[in-house]
Amino acid sequence: MIRLLIVDDHPIVRDGLRAAFEGEPDIHVAGEAGNGREGVERAVALGVDIVLMDLRMPEMDGVTAIKALRRSHPDIKTLVLTTFDSDSDVLPAIEAGATGYLLKAERPDELFAAIHAAAEGRTALSAPVAGRVMANLRRPRPTLTDRERDILAQLARGLGNRDIARALFISEATVKTHLRRIYDKLGVDTRAGAVAVAKERRLLP
């Protein structure tokens, strides 16, 4: 019997999932949680095998909860079940330790199969997510210097050129020169674009 915990901040989603599992003789819904923090606590307290985890939730998001479970109870498998499939959602969740990543548009039989796969220690990815992961692995990563990474990190904090120069003890002219190189390497022409691409490609600390 696979003991399952459903973690989602929408009660109607939790109710729907619980109802879907009622007909599965070897999957038992041991409990529910409405946010990541509660999910981590209940997963441990109930001794579940698998946590079905949403990503965007109050108090503690899914990625943070996955990391917490991975550190404290690596034997508990986590399957992401969400509506979001962008690189900025998929990659952090997988890197955090998720056993699989599924979309809420999956058919029930695909969801059941993924849970069984996770219980056996196998990875379960929905087709669109698998495609994104493979595309990201094949994509050449731009090579940034340490200084360019420093400047990107300051950009992500929302600092302007003058403040970046002060923080890194360089001149504004030097900051502008590095920014031009960063834009060229990332294929963007704005500060916001540079930060977005850097986050998507996991180039920030």
DSSP codes joined into one string, 109-161: HHHHHHHHHHHTT--EE-HHHHHHHHHHHHSPPP---HHHHHHHHHHHTT--H
Q: What is the pLDDT of residue 88?
A: 77
Average pLDDT over residues 35-40: 97
pLDDT value at residue 140: 67
Residues 105-109 have a mean pLDDT of 91
CATH (residue range 2-138): 3.40.50.2300
Domain ranges of the chain: 2-138, 146-200
Per the model's pLDDT, the better-predicted residue between 189 and 3 turns out to be: 3
Altogether, the residues listed in the chain come to a count of 205
| 3-class secondary structure, 80 | strand
Given a cut of 80, is residue 181 above it in pLDDT? yes
pLDDT tens figures, 109-143? 999 999 999 999 899 999 888 877 777 666 667 78
2-138 matches 146-200 in fold: no
pLDDT of residue 204: 81
Residue 201 is given by DSSP the state T
Query: What would the pLDDT profile of 9-18 be if each residue is shown by its tens digit?
Result: 999 999 999 9
**Structure confidence at residue 187 (pLDDT):** 82
Q: What is the pLDDT of residue 139?
A: 66
CATH topology of domain 146-200: Arc Repressor Mutant, subunit A (1.10.10)
In this prediction, residues 138-165 reach a mean pLDDT of 89
Q: What is the pLDDT of residue 193?
A: 83
The backbone region for 124, taken as left when phi is positive above 0, alpha when psi lies in -120 to 50, beta otherwise, is: beta
